[in-house]
């Protein structure tokens, strides 16, 4: 905290990891001797830059851009770009730090990075989005590349923004380096299944947790927060597996549909019309809209999938979920539960899938996109989805194994952190003091 004052989100992410690693350091003194904790929590590089652009009224606007290149011990930096007014150095660092362990868990050769800007895409025209994104890339391009650092999307950044960034990169650098971004459009190097990967992967992970306890999605009531990329495809897969998804949200409020959410309507409102989730009740008047997004956790459910943003489940929301009988929580978002909320879930035997493991499907398929780009071929949706399924099962099994091996059976927070850490730490030691 002294070294990184005011970086609350980063402190939170680091505390969770450090607490989990206590049994590893007790068993393996080599990590202490090599100063791994100090090295791994210091980014290799943190880039901050000015992003000037001109709005539709001809006024000059200035935002701040970030890229943290946290760790390249096992592969090129890999992690998304976030456009949201809340973005600051602490948020980018927490996301980049988590990404190191998540990427290691996937079993793919990718290091940890993350980037973004405090630019607010809400209400901006396509032209404004393009001019901002081009300006952002005009600085970022010099730090990224298919073997150096490979960004993708995150909050506020989808295929449209990735397309603009890729176009500007190509224009500056020349050539067609498809592997410099993932989450690209299908017509120019994108992978089938990438759009669905994070949401589907989260559901596959939770399915494994449930299976171990003789439970399943079939017939369960599910609540999914958010209505963005991760949420929509978590909802889709949960419905495919026979669940009834009764609520979802955006940053203004949530909808409750006791008959089960009509996903086609949500997709059209959010993906095509880019409108607010409150529009849903105009077409489905029997459904309810409530202002305030935190209220979604008061909706009784068997399975809760927080898929919106960090710290969206605090201790009060966790208490309500538990009182309403929640059996499993799977984090589609990054760090959506506070440390106190996680402790409460674990103390009450709620099955808990931490984001680092449960939402690793997105970056896994991003790594598959990089492989396809390198090989200059594209796999079918079924092929990618089967690989994703296999990866999520493996992440689950490795996390369970590490938790048991280090004295915390059933604790997937500890298991995922340890399983992700060991591979990176060993690679760092092998590469010397760098």
6-25 burial, b if ≥16 CB within 10 A, otherwise e? ebebbbbbbebbeebbebbe
Q: State which of positions 369-428 bind ligand NDP (CB under 6 A).
A: none
Eight-class DSSP state of 34:
T
- 200/345 with CB nearer ligand NDP: 200
Least distance from ligand NDP to the Cβ atom of residue 154, Å: 5
Single out the residue of 40, 17, 104, 103 nearest to residue 342, CA to CA: 17
What angle is formed at CA 275 by the lines to CA 270 and CA 278, rounded to 5 degrees?
A: 95
DSSP lists the bridge partners of residue 212 as: none
Contact mark string toward ligand NDP, 325..364, x via CB under 6 A: -------xxx------------------------x--x--
Q: Supply 230's token pair.
A: 């991760």
Q: How far is residue 165's CA from residue 177's CA, in Å, rounded to a whole number?
A: 12
- 24/209 with CB nearer ligand NDP: 209
Shortest-Cβ-distance residue relative to ligand NDP: 228
CB contact at 8 A, 242 and 255: no
Q: Compute the Cα dihedral for 147, 194, 177, 91 and give only its sign.
A: negative
Q: How far is residue 313's CA from residue 321's CA, in Å, rounded to a whole number?
A: 10
Contact mark string toward ligand NDP, 269..298, x via CB under 6 A: ------------------------x-----
Count interface residues toward ligand NDP (CB under 6 A): 23
> Which of 150, 308, 329, 424 contacts ligand NDP by CB under 6 A?
308
Q: How far is residue 182's CA from residue 105's CA, in Å, rounded to a whole number?
A: 19
> Which of 65, 96, 228, 353 contacts ligand NDP by CB under 6 A?
228
> Which of 20, 106, 138, 227 contacts ligand NDP by CB under 6 A?
227
385-396 burial, b if ≥16 CB within 10 A, otherwise e? bebbbebbeebb
> Which of 180, 230, 305, 416 contacts ligand NDP by CB under 6 A?
230
- 137/308 with CB nearer ligand NDP: 308
Could you tell me if residue 67 is left (phi over 0), alpha (psi between -120 and 50 degrees) or otherwise beta?
A: beta
Q: How far is residue 18's CA from residue 21's CA, in Å, rounded to a whole number?
A: 5
Q: Does 155 engage in binding with ligand NDP (CB under 6 A)?
A: yes
Q: Does 116 engage in binding with ligand NDP (CB under 6 A)?
A: no
- 108/309 with CB nearer ligand NDP: 309
Least distance from ligand NDP to the Cβ atom of residue 276, Å: 7
Q: Does 153 engage in binding with ligand NDP (CB under 6 A)?
A: yes
Least distance from ligand NDP to the Cβ atom of residue 258, Å: 21
> Which of 182, 229, 337, 373 contacts ligand NDP by CB under 6 A?
229
Which parts of this chain interact with ligand NDP (CB under 6 A)? 153-156, 198, 226-231, 250-252, 293, 307-309, 332-334, 359, 362
């Amino acid at each position: 905290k002294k070294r990184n004052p005011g970086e609350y989100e980063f402190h939170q992410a680091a505390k969770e990891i450090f607490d989990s690693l206590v049994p590893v350091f007790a068993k393996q003194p080599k990590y202490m001797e090599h100063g791994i904790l100090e090295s791994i929590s210091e980014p290799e590089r943190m880039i901050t830059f000015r992003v000037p652009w001109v709005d539709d009224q001809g006024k000059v606007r200035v935002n701040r851009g970030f890229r943290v290149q946290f760790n390249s011990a096992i592969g090129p930096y890999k992690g998304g770009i976030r456009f949201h007014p809340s973005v600051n150095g602490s948020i980018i660092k927490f996301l980049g730090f988590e990404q190191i362990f998540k990427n290691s868990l996937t079993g793919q050769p990718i290091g940890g990075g993350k980037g973004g800007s405090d630019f607010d895409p809400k209400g901006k025209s396509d032209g404004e989005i393009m001019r901002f994104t081009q300006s952002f890339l005009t600085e970022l391009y010099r730090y990224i590349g298919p073997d150096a650092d490979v960004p993708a999307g995150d909050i506020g950044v989808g295929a449209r923004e990735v397309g603009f960034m890729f176009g500007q990169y190509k224009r500056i650098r020349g050539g067609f380096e498809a592997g410099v971004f993932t989450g690209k459009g299908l017509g120019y190097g994108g992978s089938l299944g990438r759009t669905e990967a994070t949401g589907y992967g989260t559901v596959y992970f939770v399915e494994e947790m449930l299976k171990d306890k003789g439970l399943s999605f079939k017939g369960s009531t599910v609540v999914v927060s958010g209505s963005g990329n991760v949420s929509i495809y978590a909802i889709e897969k949960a419905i495919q597996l026979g669940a009834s998804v009764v609520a979802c949200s955006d940053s203004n409020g949530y909808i409750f549909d006791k008959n089960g959410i009509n996903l086609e309507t949500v997709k059209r409102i959010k993906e095509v019309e880019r409108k607010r989730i409150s529009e849903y009740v105009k077409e489905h008047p029997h459904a309810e809209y409530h202002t305030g997004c935190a209220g979604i956790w008061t909706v009784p459910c068997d399975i809760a999938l927080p898929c919106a943003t960090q710290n969206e489940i605090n201790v009060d929301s966790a208490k309500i979920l538990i009182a309403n009988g929640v059996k499993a929580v799977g984090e589609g978002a990054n760090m959506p539960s506070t440390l106190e909320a996680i402790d409460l879930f674990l103390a009450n035997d709620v099955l808990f899938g931490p984001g680092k493991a449960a939402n690793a499907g997105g970056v896994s398929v991003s790594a598959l996109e990089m492989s396809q780009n390198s090989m200059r071929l594209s796999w079918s949706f079924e092929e990618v989805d089967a690989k994703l399924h296999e990866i999520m099962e493996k992440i689950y099994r490795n996390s369970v194994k590490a938790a048991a091996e280090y004295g915390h059976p059933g604790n997937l927070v500890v298991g995922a952190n340890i399983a992700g850490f060991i591979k990176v730490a060993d690679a760092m030691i092998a590469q010397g003091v760098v």
